[in-house]
């Protein structure tokens, strides 16, 4: 007679123990996934920053040595390829509904854009004689726009933060005819 009572008490205990035991790790997993994703985005953008600095320096060096379409075009292609690689890596990350944009990530994106546009804006006079330079800048604009869209899809509100940080660089973006990028940022 005691067996059915003991069995029902144990059943009740295990049922409630399972509910309480399974609720806690789910929240910790979401937090750890969010932190890991943020670290991955920072790694991707840090690598992109290093690459774009090197690419911009190469374009700058070529622009000082009688630039031609043959010397400048492959350098722009490399720059765009690096941006596209970063965009692909960011798009491969799973967006989380609970993620909000990070100030650190927005600052890093703003730094990439500031360094790149400042360097390229300083070369407009030297590059003006290169045939199809507008096409090269158009390709850069598309790549930068795709990067911004990927970041916004992953981190809600990041474009607003980046736009705020890039207000002083908006004139340089206009000089470089980066209209898609300006539109994405709302500048």
Q: Are 180 and 141 in contact (CB under 8 A)?
A: yes
Residue 134 lies in a domain: yes
Cα–Cα dist 104/146, whole Å? 20
Nearest to 35 by CA among 100, 107, 91: 100
Residue 13 lies in a domain: no
pLDDT digits (tens, 9 = 90+) for 162-180: 888 877 788 878 878 777 8
Q: State the total domains in the chain.
A: 1
Residue 132 lies in a domain: yes
Per-residue model confidence (pLDDT) at position 7: 59
Higher pLDDT, 5 or 93: 93
The token pair at 3 is 């067996």
Residue 37 lies in a domain: yes
pTM, entire model: 0.78
Residue 23 lies in a domain: no
The token pair at 40 is 């991955």
Residue 106 lies in a domain: yes
Residue 159 lies in a domain: yes
Q: Which residues pair with 156 in a beta bridge?
A: 100
Domain span at residue 115? Answer: 33-185
Residue 6 lies in a domain: no
3-state secondary structure (DSSP) of residue 47: helix
Percent of the chain with pLDDT strictly greater than 90: 35
- CB proximity list for 134: less than 8 A, separation 6 or greater: 177
CA-to-CA separations, 85 to 72, 88, 133, 137, in angstroms, rounded:
20, 5, 22, 18
pLDDT digits (tens, 9 = 90+) for 131-155: 888 899 899 999 999 999 998 888 8
| Residue tagged 């790549």 (tokens) | 143
The token pair at 132 is 């199809």
Per-range mean pLDDT, top range of 29-33, 98-102, 162-166: 162-166
The token pair at 164 is 């705020």
Check pLDDT > 80 for residue 59.
yes
Per-residue model confidence (pLDDT) at position 96: 62
Q: Are 120 and 63 in contact (CB under 8 A)?
A: no
Percent of the chain with pLDDT strictly greater than 70: 78
């Amino acid at each position: 007679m005691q067996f059915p009572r003991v069995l029902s008490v144990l059943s009740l205990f295990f049922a409630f123990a399972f509910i309480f035991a399974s609720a806690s790790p789910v929240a910790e997993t979401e937090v750890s996934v969010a932190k890991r994703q943020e670290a991955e985005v920072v790694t991707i953008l840090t690598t992109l920053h290093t690459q774009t600095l090197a690419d911009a320096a190469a374009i700058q060096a070529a622009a000082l040595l009688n630039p031609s379409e043959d010397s400048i075009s492959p350098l722009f292609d490399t720059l765009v390829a690096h941006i596209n690689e970063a965009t692909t890596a960011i798009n491969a990350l799973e967006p989380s509904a609970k993620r909000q944009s990070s100030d650190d990530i927005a600052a890093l994106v703003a730094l990439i854009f500031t360094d790149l546009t400042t360097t390229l804006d300083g070369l407009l006079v030297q590059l003006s004689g290169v045939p199809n330079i507008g096409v090269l800048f158009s390709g850069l604009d598309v790549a930068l726009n795709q990067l911004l869209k990927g970041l916004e899809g992953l981190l809600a509100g990041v474009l607003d933060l980046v736009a705020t940080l890039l207000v002083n660089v908006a004139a340089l973006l206009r000089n470089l005819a980066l209209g898609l990028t300006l539109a994405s940022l709302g500048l």
